Amino acid sequence: MAVKADFDRFDDELRSMQELMEEQEISLHDKDLMVPINTLSLKKAVTVEPGTSIKQCVEILLARHFGCLLVVKNKNLKGIFTERDVLLKIAGEKIDLSKVKVDDYMTPNPVTLTMNDPIISALRLMHKGGYRHVTIVDEKGEPVSVLSIRDIVHYIVEFFPQDILNLPPHPIRVGAKNPDGG
Instruction: Tell me which residues touch other proteins (CB under 8 A).
Output: 21, 24-30, 32-33, 55, 58, 61-62, 67, 83-84, 86-88, 90-92, 97, 120, 123-124, 126-127, 132, 149-150, 152-154, 156-157, 160, 162-165, 167, 171, 173, 175, 177, 179
Query: By the 8 A CB rule, do 58 and 108 touch?
Result: no
Q: How far is the CB of 121 from other proteins (least distance, A)?
A: 10
Specify the residue, 55 or 73, whose C-beta has the smaller distance to other proteins. 55
What is the rounded CA–CA span in Å between residue 169 and residue 63? 29
Task: Please state, in angstroms and rounded to a whole number, the distance separating the CA atoms of residues 27 and 25.
Answer: 7
Nearest in space to 45 (alpha carbons), one of 78, 22, 20, 18: 78
**Min. distance of Cβ 15 from other proteins in angstroms?**
18
Of 25 and 139, nearer to other proteins (C-beta) is 25
| H-helix or E-strand spanning residue 69 | strand 68-73
Residue nearer to other proteins on the CB measure, 141 or 161: 161
If the CB atoms of residues 144 and 149 are measured against other proteins, the closer one turns out to be 149
| Beta carbon of residue 5, minimum distance to other proteins (angstroms, whole number) | 31
Across the beta sheet with 76-82, the strand order is: 47-48, 68-73, 76-82, 107-108
How many C-alpha atoms does 86 have within 13 Å on its Cβ side? 17
CB of 31 to other proteins, least distance (A): 10
Structural contact between residues 139 and 112, judged by C-beta atoms closer than 8 angstroms: no
Nearer to other proteins, 74 or 166 (CB): 166
What is the closest distance, in whole angstroms, from the C-beta atom of residue 9 to other proteins in the complex?
26
Q: Rounded to whole angstroms, how far apart are CA atoms 34 and 7?
A: 48
